[in-house]
Structure 1
Amino acid sequence: MTLELHAQGDQAMERLGAAIGEALNWRGSVWLEGDLGAGKTTLSRGLIRAAGHAGAVKSPTFTLVEPYELEQRSIYHFDLYRLADPEELEFLGIRDYFSDNSLCLIEWPAKGQGMLPQPDLIISITVDGDGRRLQIEGHGERGLAAGHRLHSTRGEATP
């Protein structure tokens, strides 16, 4: 299943991030693809704040992963942009982050090829005028269900 949405501005991207987290029931794996400045971190910020995090949400470019331990869930925000070799993820203990009670957001997933589990959603973001165009692909049972929920509750994003 593939869904195409358009988000106009940062607030719309953050609302869409919140809707994505909700559609996934705050669990699973999301690959975020797009050029620098496309809005991957903005989308992640909306999702993480909607999950209950009140503090700052920054790109984990230098730390590779930023953990958010919330009341009933864990969200791990990865940025693999500076990863030199996918094998480095083994030293990070990458497999420990993926559990039934966590949601992993992965920016630049191609850099971790071969070391990452299959995603539930792949979200490709491109700049489209003043807004962003998002192509959301659902994979597996969880991703397909989330895609259907997003399709039926598009909110302020438009096809």
Structure 2
Amino acid sequence: MSSLFLPDEAATIAFAGRLAPFLIAGDCLLLNGDLGMGKSTFARALIRARFGDPELEVPSPTFTLVQIYDGEPPIWHFDLYRLSDPDELIELGVDEALAEGISLIEWPDRGAGVLPKDALRLTFAEEGAGRRVRLSGGRSGELAAAL
């Protein structure tokens, strides 16, 4: 497991920007952490970095549950906070997302049993005045070495 201290929002945005170019189709990032820990900030920054547009509108998928960004590969941003049944993920297109795109999934525990066990897990936690993000599973070792 690798970890990184993020002292502020700017550091979270920079971290997402460094990670974005290394992601490939089929990568699934499970974004864990309490409310206000930086999951949405990270996802928004990663999407903007991937598309090379710091002003790209990236709304939270809290109410829509998923936002899809067309690209090569596409990025699927899921927020499962309001998901009532993990099987709803199939209706939202998670199979297609996992096969063809880069998936960013906030509140992944609500999709237990449907999401891949070998996904890259990023866990955001409060530490002092900042946040610590821990990377585990999936390609975490490879990506941590690249960063």
Q: Secondary structure at the match of 1:98?
A: helix
Distance in 2 separating the partners of 1:129 and 1:49: 28
Is the 1:138–1:146 Cα contact (8 Å) retained in structure 2?
A: no
The alignment-based identity, stated in percent, is 39
Specify every segment of 5 or more residues in structure 1 that has no aligned partner in the other structure, as ranges. Answer: 151-159
Distance in 1 separating the partners of 2:14 and 2:25: 15
The CA RMSD measured in Å over matched residues stands at: 1.7
Identify the range of structure 1 (33-42 vs 22-31) with the bigger mean alpha-carbon deviation.
22-31
Identify the range of structure 1 (21-30 vs 51-60) with the bigger mean alpha-carbon deviation.
21-30
Q: Deviation above 6 Å: which 4+ runs of structure 1?
A: none
Aligned residues: 145
Distance in 1 separating the partners of 2:30 and 2:108: 6
Q: Which residue of 2 aligns with 1:123?
A: 122
Give TM-score, length-normalised by structure 2. 0.89
Distance 1:53 1:79, change over 3 A: farther
Deviations 1:55-96 (A, max 9, x none): 2222211111111112x2211111000001111112223211
Distance in 1 separating the partners of 2:15 and 2:26: 16
Distance 1:123 1:38, change over 3 A: same
Deviations 1:112-135 (A, max 9, x none): 001112343100001222211111
Specify every segment of 5 or more residues in structure 2 that has no aligned partner in the other structure, as ranges. Answer: none
Matching of residue 111 in structure 1 with residue 110 in structure 2 = yes
